[in-house]
Structure 1
Amino acid sequence: MNNDIYQFSANNNSGEAVQLSTYKNKVMLIVNTASDCGFTPQYKGLQDLYEKHQSQGLEILAFPCNQFKQQEQGDDAAIKQFCDLRFNIKFPLFSKIDVNGDNAHPLFNFLKSEAPGIMGSTGIKWNFTKFLVNKEGNVVKRYASTTKPEAIEADIEKLL
């Protein structure tokens, strides 16, 4: 089995399968998101990073998740509408998934195993946990929900 992220695919917000190999040679920031969370304003920071660094090879992949206090209750269309109206995001938005438990998306199981949290925990604690992936598809670092996107910029620039 490959030890990079390119072995996975996920459905985008329109329900179409996207191979993560599409993002080969790009730096990726993969985030589990929610529309009704205290960290939801991070969408703006993510969009700012994307606008600043996308031309250099940054991709931000947003994966809505309703596993934390039901803070993402809408369907994919409602989530996209919220993101478009509130934050005008231009980076890829994927279909709503689970990030923990028996139904966790295989991509997130991989991310969690490659970059465990504090004290080696693999579970994702909350919305807006972020995973930084280098151009070779290797998970470099995991960031807590409280880490603002702008605080990750220096790490992203090193990989670009």
Structure 2
Amino acid sequence: MGIFVDIVTIVLATLWSVCGQNVSSRQVACYHHDDNLHSVYNFSMPDIHGEKTIDFSQYRGKQEPGANGTEILNMLKHVRPGSGFVPNFTLTQKTDVNGEKEHALYTYLKAYCPPVDDIFYTEKSGIYYKPYHNSDVRWNFEKFLINKEGKAVMRYPTRLVPSALEKDIQDLLEEGSQSNSYGGGPGR
């Protein structure tokens, strides 16, 4: 876990289930940020209990909270690792990551990171939100790697296990958390 100092990782958890599809996925570099004056630190979300607002600026230089939902907190506490475990970071509420009610943080992240899947699902295959955008999060646990300046650097598909991000995180630490030069600009 020591390699995660000064790096933010966000694991997205979405709600729909689409089975039986063969999808071509890849990790993608996010767009260059010269024209981007914002970062994830400009956003906030309610905590898992809805009692306070989590201001992401308080996580600058720390590991970002990585999960949503009461069920995840209960799973950690009672199942795995269990034995009353309580994480030492704040969990956010379940949040819309796509559609007309999507949280501004995800609108921002998706604007600077191209999609990781070639196929876009519609209502016929289990998506029940609108409007649709090619950049939408496709599945549970799609990941964004954020540098310590709060800029998105990489976007990863669902099937990529978190340990596979280790090299990218290490490279980012060694580069001094400089933004990549993918090119292009924000877009959907």
Q: TM-score range by the shorter chain?
A: 0.5 to 0.7
Contact 2:65 2:92 in 1 (8 A): no
- Structure 1 residue 60: deviation in Å? 4.2
Distance in structure 2 (CA, Å) of the matches to 1:84 and 1:123: 31
SS at match of 2:96: coil
Please list every run of 5 or more consecutive structure 2 residues that lacks an aligned counterpart in the other structure: 1-35, 119-132, 174-188
Aligned equivalents of 2:61, 2:39: Cα separation in 1: 12
From the superposition, tell whether residues 137 and 113 of structure 1 become closer, same or farther in structure 2 (CA, over 3 Å): same
Q: Which runs of 5+ in 1 are unaligned?
A: 27-57, 65-75
Q: Which of these residues, 148, 153, 157, is aligned with residue 135 of structure 1? A: 148
Partner residue, 1:81: 74
1:12 aligned partner: 47
Tell me, in whole angstroms, the C-alpha distance in 1 between the residues paired with 2:167 and 2:90.
22
Q: TM-score, normalised by structure 1?
A: 0.64
Q: Do residues 124 (structure 1) and 124 (structure 2) align? A: no
Between the two proteins, the alignment pairs up a number of residues equal to: 117
Seen in structure 2, the aligned counterparts of structure 1 residues 85 and 159 have a Cα distance that, compared at 3 Å, is: farther
Q: Please tell me the root mean square deviation across aligned C-alpha atoms, in Å.
A: 2.2
Q: In the alignment, is the contact (CA less than 8 A) between 2:40 and 2:56 conserved in 1?
A: yes
Q: Which amino acid aligns with 1:10?
A: M
Amino acid in the other structure paired with 2:54: V
Q: Which amino acid letter does the alignment assign opposite residue 55 of structure 2?
A: Q
- Aligned equivalent of 2:108, options 107, 110, 114: 110
Give 1:52's aligned residue. none
SS at match of 1:13: coil
Q: Percent identity?
A: 36
SS in 2 for 1:62: coil
Tell me the secondary structure at the aligned position of residue 87 of structure 1: coil
- Counterpart of 1:155 in structure 2 is 168
Give 1 or 2 for the bigger CA radius of gyration.
2
Amino acid at match of 1:9: S
Taking structure 2 as the reference length, what is the TM-score of the superposition?
Answer: 0.55
- 1:19 Cα offset (Å): 0.7
Shift in Å, 1:155: 1.1
Q: Distance in 1 between matches of 2:46 and 2:172?
A: 26
> Residue 131 of structure 1 aligns to a residue in which SS?
strand
